[in-house]
Structure 1
């Protein structure tokens, strides 16, 4: 199994209450039911207000590197990520467990 973690940070001046931001969060929330490669899926807004905190987190798991590639290339994932690209940056970590 591979854990796929993503932390998203809204760009300066972007508020999580904006409609486009809320739509993007919903798009990610729906991926767990849409992409068959996902063995585990959760995402949510961070509740921490510390200066170093990211704003939104995704915690997921796939069976192997091939499944990870299929997930990343899936059209629903690509569409959801494209929405975030307009107003956020992110970091990822993929590791076996």
Structure 2
């Protein structure tokens, strides 16, 4: 199994109530039920208010590298990424567990 973690940071001046952000969060919240290769799916807004904190997180798992690739290429994932590219930057890690 692989864990896929992504942490998103909203760009300067962008807030959670921005309509683009609301649409992006909704798109990612729906992914868990849309992509069969996902074994687990969690996402949500960070509640910590520290300077090093990111704003939004995805924590998911897939069976293997091939399943991860199918997830990354899935049209629903690509649509969500396209939204988030407009207003954020992110870091990610994939690791076996």
TM-score class normalised by the smaller sequence: over 0.9
Q: Which residue of 1 aligns with 2:8?
A: 8
Structure 1: any 5+ residue segments left out of the alignment? none
> Structure 1 length as normaliser, TM-score?
0.99
- Which residue does the alignment assign to 1:43? 43
**Residue 95 of structure 1 corresponds to which residue in structure 2?**
95
For residues 1-47 of structure 1, the C-alpha deviation after alignment (integer angstroms, 9 at most, x for no partner) is: 00000000000000011111011000000000000000000000000
Number of residue-to-residue matches in the alignment: 97
Give the CA RMSD over aligned residues.
Answer: 0.4
TM-score, normalization: structure 2?
0.99
**1:81 counterpart residue number:** 81
Q: Structure 2 unaligned runs (5+)?
A: none
Query: What whole-Å deviation, never above 9, does each CA across 1:32-86 have from its counterpart, x for those lacking one?
Result: 0000000000000000110110000000000000000000000000000100000
Pair 1:31 & 2:31 matched:
yes
SS in structure 2 at match of 1:84: helix
Runs of 4+ deviating beyond 2 Å: none
